[in-house]
Amino acid sequence: MALIVQKFGGTSVGSIERIEQVAEKVKKFRENGDDIVVVVSAMSGETNRLIGLAKQISEQPVPRELDVMVSTGEQVTIALLAMALIKRGVPAVSYTGNQVRILTDSSFTKARILQIDDQKLRTDLKAGRVVVVAGFQGVDEHGNITTLGRGGSDTTGVALAAALKADECQIYTDVDGVYTTDPRVVPKARRLDKITFEEMLEMASLGSKVLQIRSVEFAGKYNVPLRVLHSFQEGPGTLITIDEEESMEQPIISGIAFNRDEAKLTIRGVPDNPGVAFKILGPISGANIEVDMIVQNIAHDNTTDFTFTVHRNDHLNAMRVLENTAREISAREVIGDTDIAKVSIVGVGMRSHAGVASRMFEALAKEGINIQMISTSEIKVSVVIEEKYLELAVRALHTAFELDAPARQGE
Ligand code: ADP
Ligand code: ASP
Ligand code: MG
């Protein structure tokens, strides 16, 4: 008998019919004799709808109150699923994050899980009940409701699996696994049987929203066997593993990630003295803005240009801070650009292969796509390009690195 944590995402519980289908599925696992903890998201679109309501009151809603509100989406689905299970003769009970006591810090809208009380869950499981837990939410030490950031139900699932030492955490969603890239953008994307934690972490942090980054971090840290599966189609899904198999067929690149969430800022004609980077980025981090990619040009005429990217939501704020800095250090001008996208190739195979980056640049050059910024690490290469070329770039790279699925007959 196994203990399995099953997380169902928004589209999988997006209607009463789907919730009934999920209940059928959970019932089958139960009949196999497995102990089941289910984590659910809000119905698809519900979290966005709630945020939209708050934005009608204020452009920047108070984070504490936002969390009180958006956490309600998941409270609805846990109760509906528990009802659907009970209707089928499966004993079940639902809990909010607070009721379980999923203790988090107090960073509203992006809280981190500190501790999970597993007592209640274990008692219920022992009594033969399926436990249905609200994803995405917790409670801080003062009793305030918190949420874990968008996509946070994945993290609830993995954290519960870690706390309960579950045999597996299964993430059920609307695709049948992790693909070489978003299958909605590249129809030729291929499902991966396996991907390493390290690669999945890069893919998630570079924009593949199939798993929330923190859920992958948690799974790696606590060694939780994690699998991504389709909610309503049979199949093996994708296993996230520790092993880096040494096989001849190990591809150099496992996947391509992309995002449109960044904006670029350039400060030009900066007097080139020691400490320039600190003078420019110090006030940015002082304003609590995270910087991603950075490029500083070699100086000529004793001045330099300095370019960096931030989250698009922080763009206006960062522009304001940078314009101030420009005045203080007598820089020539500040330029902002939100028409950018970041495309990244990811793969542990890169460690043992030279020339991966140049193959990437060649593929982009062939399509006439200009690269504005580059950053590399041991297992990834990222470039910033003009946003309108994003899909073209992802497709070209997918083909160049031989990731395309073989054409089916008749295609
Ligand atoms: P859920 O609501 O179940 O949490 P999400 O929308 O958060 O589902 O995540 C699933 C989606 O992630 C898919 O529909 C797909 O479009 C997207 N996605 C992005 N990158 C990938 C990838 N590499 N593999 C699979 N899906 C991906
Ligand atoms: N409902 C939350 C969101 O839409 C959490 C989740 O779905 O994982 O972000
Ligand atoms: Mg999700």
Q: Is the CB of 135 within 6 Å of ligand 2?
A: yes
303: which strand partners? 271, 300
Query: What does pTM read for this prediction?
Result: 0.93
Q: Which atom of ligand 1 is found nearest the CA of 203?
A: 23
Sequence-distant (6+) residues with CB within 8 A of 153 are 7, 9, 39, 40, 41, 74, 135, 136, 212
8 A C-beta contact, residue 131 and residue 125: yes
Let me know: does 138 contact 148? Beta carbons within 8 Å.
Answer: yes
Mean pLDDT of the chain: 95
Closest ligand 2 atom, residue 148 Cα? 5
Interval 95-123: pLDDT, tens: 999 999 999 999 999 999 999 999 999 99
Nearest in space to 191 (alpha carbons), one of 224, 153, 155, 230: 230
User: Contact at 8 Å (CB) between 384 and 293?
Assistant: yes
The two tokens of residue 247 are 């096989």
What is the tens place of the pLDDT at every residue in 123-156?
A: 999 999 999 999 999 999 999 999 999 999 999 9
| pLDDT of res. 245 | 64
Average pLDDT over residues 286-302: 89
Which ligand lies nearest to the CA atom of residue 150 in the structure?
Answer: 2
- State the pLDDT confidence band at 248, using cuts at 50, 70 and 90: very low
164: left (phi over 0), alpha (psi -120 to 50) or beta: alpha
Distance 94 CA to ligand 1 centre (A): 26
Cβ of 173 closer than 6 Å to ligand 2, yes or no, is no
> What is the rounded average pLDDT of the residues 185-196?
94
pLDDT tens per residue, range 26-62? 999 999 999 999 999 999 999 999 999 999 999 889 9
- Please state which of the ranges 164-178, 247-261, 306-320, 372-386 shows the lowest mean pLDDT: 247-261
Q: Which residues does 87 contact at the CB level (< 8 Å), separation at least 6?
A: 23
Q: From the CA of 10, give the closest atom in ligand 2.
A: 7
Name the β-bridge partners of 270. Answer: 304
Say how many Å lie between the CA of residue 73 and the centre of ligand 2: 9
Which residues, in sequence order, are CB contacts of 198 under 8 Å at separation 6+?
Answer: 220, 348, 379
